[in-house]
Structure 1
Amino acid sequence: MPRPYTQAASTLWILSLLVFSAFVSAHMIEVPASKKECFFEDLHINDKMTVTYQVGGGGHLDIDFWLTDPDGHALAKHLKQSTGSISITAKKDGRHEYCFSNQMSSVVDKIVSFNVHGVIYVDDDDTVAPIEREIRALAQGLTAVKDEQEYIVIRERRHRNTAESTNSRVKWWSVLQAIVLFFVVAWQVYYLKSFFEVKRAF
């Protein structure tokens, strides 16, 4: 027999979804040269977690990333990537660790922005009201939009830095060309003047 749907039950479920069923966090870190930064989340079986990251500055804008289960087995690994996204469903209870490594670089630090979001597993059955399923789908869609917005912001910052760097180089190259041109013109005037100069014999 289907569970009766009431407004109070819907409100209670929405609050529990917002408070207990999802976790979202956003961070920006600096990973020093030849170092790595690691983080963890304690998950239970069937909990879902997604990690998205973007390198916003430093060197070739690349980073190594991996995610391991409580037994240390690699669930995902990216090498020298500027951006990436990993989604997992926990197969066992325990601490799941993810790391950003800049060990490939011995000089340049890296700036990494990353988001971690997930859903705590709640046993579901056919008695769940359609509105509840829609709310879950909407929550996942909002998380995806948030990730995309942050990705666009970081890309815009990177492109702006590239454009400013290019403009600075063009400016100083133009100044250098003007200085060289001035000296060439001055040398030509001096040379032509000395060429046509009539020397007097005493």
Structure 2
Amino acid sequence: MPTMWMSLVLFFLVSVSAHMMEVPASKKECFFEDLHVNDKMTVTYQVGGGGHLDIDFWMTDPEGLVLHKHIKQSTGTVSITTEKDGRHEYCFSNLMSTVVDKLVSFNVHGVVYYDDDDTVAPIEREIRSLAAGLMGVKDEQEYIVVRERTHRNTAESTNDRVKWWSVAQVIILFLAVAWQVYYLKDTDTRPSHSLK
């Protein structure tokens, strides 16, 4: 019985951290986690702004072997069960862009420790299932927040363009009216020539 409670306590020590960062043009940002054999970790990400809303992502093991790689993706999820002890690194790369910075939101579902006991109580299995579901809901909410921010930025940009285009049209209209008035007054003041 104490083993089950210990397992439950360790299970709830799952660290979920959400981050928002800007990856400058022609740069990459890397992070790492020190993991042990059979630890589980999930990284989810979403590009919320910049360019075509895409970024390169990869994850490597302690020996530098690439475990997962995504090229020019706007969103992604990578889950691993580690096979080696050591520092696992994951990177977001904006090397393909020379001008535009990218805004990236990502979550790291930290290490989930499972004991080696094969007999898992049904309540513990349900708790694990609920915790995984909650993580999925949290990821979806954060995805929706990033998408809403992206759509709001697009709407505000479009609104600004429409406003300045309207201002330009009004200025052009006033200039055209002023020119017509000037032209008509100028033709009225010219002496008329009559042929006799």
TM-score, normalised with respect to structure 2? 0.87
Distance 1:37 1:102 in 2: 9
Q: For residues 168 and 82 of structure 2, what CA distance do their matches in structure 1 show? A: 60
Counterpart Cα distance in 2 of 1:77 and 1:155: 23
Q: Tell me the CA shift for residue 172 of structure 1.
A: 0.3
Q: Deviations over 1:75-127 (max 9, x none)?
A: 1111222221111221222221100111122233222211010422322423x
Can you list the C-alpha shifts for 1:165-197, whole angstroms capped at 9, x where unaligned? 100000000000111011112222332333444
Indicate yes or no: 2:168 matched with 1:167.
no
* 2:12 aligned counterpart, secondary structure: helix
CA distance in 1 between counterparts of 2:192 and 2:173 reads 33
SS at match of 1:191: helix
Listed one character per residue, the Cα deviations across residues 107-148 of structure 1 (whole Å, up to 9, x for unaligned) are: 33222211010422322423x221111001001111111111
What residue number does 2:124 align with? 132
Query: Does 1:77 pair with 2:81?
Result: no
CA distance in 2, matches of 1:64, 1:10: 41
Gaps of 5+ in 1: none
Q: Tell me the distance in 2 between the aligned counterparts of 1:42 and 1:9.
A: 25
1:37-52 paired onto structure 2 within 5 Å: 37-52=29-44
> Is 2:25–2:101's contact at 8 Å kept on the other side of the alignment?
yes
Choose which of 11, 20, 39 in structure 2 pairs with 1:28.
Answer: 20
Q: Structure 1: how far apart are the matches of 2:9 and 2:83?
A: 27
Aligned residues: 192
AA in 2 matched with 1:15 = V
Residue 98 of structure 2: aligned partner = 106
Q: Equivalent pairs: percent with the same residue?
A: 72
Verify: 1:89 aligned to 2:52, yes or no: no
Q: Gaps spanning 5+ residues in structure 2: where?
A: none
C-alpha distance in structure 2 between counterparts of 1:11 and 1:98, whole Å: 33
| 2:8 aligned residue (14, 20, 45) | 14
CA distance in 1, matches of 2:133, 2:47: 24
1:122 alignment counterpart: 115
Residues 153-162 or 23-32, more deviating: 23-32
In 1, the alpha carbon distance for the partners of 2:148 and 2:33 equals 30
Give me the whole-angstrom Cα distance separating, in 2, the residues matched to 1:31 and 1:187.
51
Deviations for 1:51-76, whole angstroms, at most 9, x for unmatched residues? 11112223332221111112211111
**Structure 1: which 4+ aligned runs deviate by more than 4 Å?**
8-13
User: What is the Cα-based RMSD across aligned positions, in Å?
Assistant: 2.2
> For residues 9 and 86 of structure 1, what CA distance do their matches in structure 2 show?
30
